[in-house]
Amino acid sequence: MEPTYQNGRLVIASGLLNVTEGKIVVARHGSREIIKRVSLIRGDTVKLKGDNSSPHHNTVIQASQIRGVVI
């Protein structure tokens, strides 16, 4: 499966929307921003998953690292 958003594409995200499972978010990961879908929320821990099927595109972050929900 191809990624929903290709590298270099412009996206708009809002920090005012609630983060829920299934939403696509922009998050800080290390020294860069990533765009991934929220697959699981447990307390302050958020599991993100890329839309392509590769398992190495899964990431676990803290909720505070989320910058906004893609609109």
Distance from C-alpha of 38 to C-alpha of 46, rounded to nearest angstrom: 7
Domains held by the chain: number:
1
Domain assignment present for residue 43? The answer is yes
pTM (global) more than 0.85: yes
If you count DSSP H runs as helices and E runs as strands, how many of each does the chain have, helices first? Answer: 0, 6
pLDDT tens track for 9-48: 899 999 999 999 999 999 999 999 999 999 999 999 999 9
Q: Check residue 6 and give its pLDDT.
A: 80
Domain assignment present for residue 2? The answer is no
67 in Cβ contact with 17 (< 8 Å): no
Domain assignment present for residue 20? The answer is yes
Domain assignment present for residue 52? The answer is yes
Q: What CATH number is attached to the domain comprising 62?
A: 2.30.30
Q: Which domain holds residue 23?
A: 13-70
